A and B are shown apart, each in its own frame.
Chain A
Amino acid sequence: MATATTTARPHSAPGAHHPVRHQPTWRRRLGAAMPHLVLIGYTLVALAPIAMIVMNSMKERRAIFSEPFRLPTAETFSLVGYQTVFERSRFELYFLNSFVVTVVSVLLVLLLGSMAAFALSEYRFWGNTLLALYLALGIMIPIRLGTVSILRLLVDLSLVNSLLGLILVYTAMGLPLAVFVLGLFFRQVPRDLKEAARVDGASEYWVYRLAMPLIRPGLAAIGVFTMLPIWNDLWFPLILTPGESVRTVTLGAQLFLGQFVSDWNAVLAVLTLAMLPMLALYIIFSKQFMRGLTQGAIK
């Protein structure tokens, strides 16, 4: 169908002069292949470095340097790097910490953000616009600028080196965008539906629950936007939770890499391990991921 529209175009415009039709076939073929060449080229630029790391993480040391572009063969295959990682650091614990922090923060952002967005878009009350503006301020101002006082606050609350402290900071970080974007989605929920529920005697909490499934694309978009920076953050784990038992994967990898910088097997293994979960999650859910991002972007 797609090709039909292009070939049909000259016919639909008989007066227009179309040089394309007079070009020799090979030039037209090249023209059609060009986008693919560029896109494949850039895909290689994007993926080759990652592939190099993953591939070489499963080779013995000598092969990493002598034949870096070859896939591991039976002779060069070795998992010694991974062995070092699990013997010398507690990577499984770091994974668990990152997982807990990310999942709890994202859920809190989605829950609290949608509640606030619902209230702001649903009810008229004194100071509504002002409150919406107040919450939106945080979209443009990076929370990192308040780090000095965040650290002091967490010290006062005895939340340093605690996952809860990290979760609260990340929740505050994710809320502004969530409230703003989810508000746009809530405004599109049909009024009749909410009014019908109210006439049936539903409480406001029930009306909120009823509206939730209708803003699912918004929730997906915000989930993605919120999850990535939290899982990948180095700054706050470095400052707020440097302790071994509460270390996240990103910080764990950073410290391990600094320590084992000359052990290429271990370095390649740690890099592969650290990127694997997000990569797997991304590839499995890439369709939803892209839809969420594109939809969030249009908003």
Chain B
Amino acid sequence: MSATVAPARRRRRRTHVLVFLAPAVVIYTLFMVYPLLDSLRLSLFGVVDGREVFVGFDNFRLLLGDDLLSARFWNAVGNNLVFFAVHFVVQNPIGLLLAALLASPTLRGRAVYRTLIFIPTTLSVVIVGFIWQLILSPLWGFVQTPLLGRSSTALITLSLMSVWQYVGIPMLLFYAVLISIPDDLVEAAYVDGANDWQVFWRIKFPLLLPTVGMVTVVTYVANMNAFDLIYTVKGALAGPDFSTDIMGTLFFRTFFGFQLQRGSSTMGATVATFMFLLILAGVLLYFFGWQRRVETYEL
């Protein structure tokens, strides 16, 4: 057939491919790839006399070397890792428990539970932030301690608010895996004398592990550029005393400036570059440290 294809038809085929691909590639390149690369470039520039000049790694040296800036930076990195750790430790067990209960074949009303439990995930982070701010407000009096007002509890409280919102996603992903496990496999184990507990940990859990890894890396990336929740509840200064400051809020303040601090595009780009490196490190760790070691089973 290919021998009979006329040159004209072949060329037309090529225009098709171009028409199909060009719009997506152009928009993606212009509004995503170019800005990302340009941000990386900007992190190597500084403003001297109102003009942008190449300064090498000066911005990075400033961010890590200056006493105040580096304290803020490491504080934000640490807080962000705590933010992620709380997600990891809390959302996986809860998501797993809910998914396992939902996937049990004798359960009635599963669709209702699933739909209702997923509702918080559909809300905007701004709404979630304010809902909890009101619920936790000592004015309303359900909680007497100002959990969001103390630097010792604010970050953990905010992390848990975020878990409350997003736990529906791991639940749903785990659930999707659990219901795709063939009945024969489970039945065979029961016939061999395994109990529910053994069936879960020996058969279902290994099949869930790849999804646990995927959920974890997606959560990590989302957490590393989180911003909305902290900004909504605590403002750009991420108080009290920067105890809830994460990379996203640090980036925002560095770029736009806040109170006495003046905003800087190039320093903002530098913080963004660090965020990029942190995300890259996490993703690479996932691909090489986890995904390659966890066995994936074809069902």
- Please state if A46 and B125 are interface contacts (CB–CB under 8 Å): no
Within the complex, what minimum Cβ distance (angstroms) separates A96 from chain B? 17
Interchain CB contact under 8 A, A65 and B101: no
Q: Bin the interface of chain B by size.
A: 35 or more
With a cutoff of 8 Å between Cβ atoms, the chain A residues found around residue B130 in the complex are 253, 257, 267, 271
Give 1 or 0 for each of A161-205: 1 = CB within 8 Å of chain B CB: 000000011011101100100000000000000000000000111
Q: What residue in chain B is nearest A169 (Cβ atoms)?
A: B31
Chain B residues with CB under 8 A of A152: 38, 265
Contact B36 A146 (CB under 8 A): yes
Across the interface, name the chain B residue whose C-beta is closest to A128: B17
- Which residues of A sit under 8 angstroms from B111, Cβ to Cβ? 286-287, 290
A50 to B103, CA, bound (A): 26
> Which residues of B lie under 8 Å from residue A275 when comparing CB positions?
123-124, 127
**A-B contacts at CB below 8 angstroms, number:** 265
Q: In B249-276, which residues have CB < 8 Å from any A CB?
A: 251, 255-256, 265, 268-269, 272-273, 275-276
User: Could you say which of A43, A141, A238 contacts B116, with CB atoms under 8 Å apart?
Assistant: A43
Instruction: Report whether over half of chain A's contact residues are helix, strand or loop; otherwise say mixed.
Output: helix
Question: For residue B225, which residues in chain A have a CB less than 8 angstroms away from its CB?
Answer: 142, 144-145
- The smallest C-beta distance from B243 to any residue of chain A, in angstroms, reads 20
A146, B106: Cβ atoms closer than 8 Å = no
CB-defined contacts of A279 to chain B, threshold 8 Å: 119, 122-123
- Residues of B within 8 Å of A283, CB to CB, are 115
Chain B CB within 8 A of A71 CB:
no
Q: Which of B106, B119, B232 contacts A46 (CB 8 A)?
A: B119
Which of B13, B168, B227, B228 has its CB near the most chain A CB atoms (within 10 A)?
B228
- Let me know if A27 is at the binding interface, CB within 8 A: no
- Tell me, yes or no, whether B148 is within 8 Å of chain A by CB: no
Q: B31–A131 contact, CB under 8 A?
A: no
User: Do A123 and B13 have beta carbons less than 8 Å apart?
Assistant: yes
Q: Does B203 count as interface, using CB distance less than 8 angstroms?
A: no
Can you offer 27 A-B residue contacts whose CB atoms are under 8 A?
A9-B190, A38-B98, A39-B98, A46-B164, A49-B131, A52-B134, A52-B135, A118-B20, A119-B17, A142-B225, A145-B36, A146-B35, A147-B272, A148-B42, A148-B272, A152-B38, A153-B30, A176-B32, A228-B121, A232-B123, A232-B125, A253-B124, A253-B127, A268-B134, A278-B124, A290-B115, A294-B176
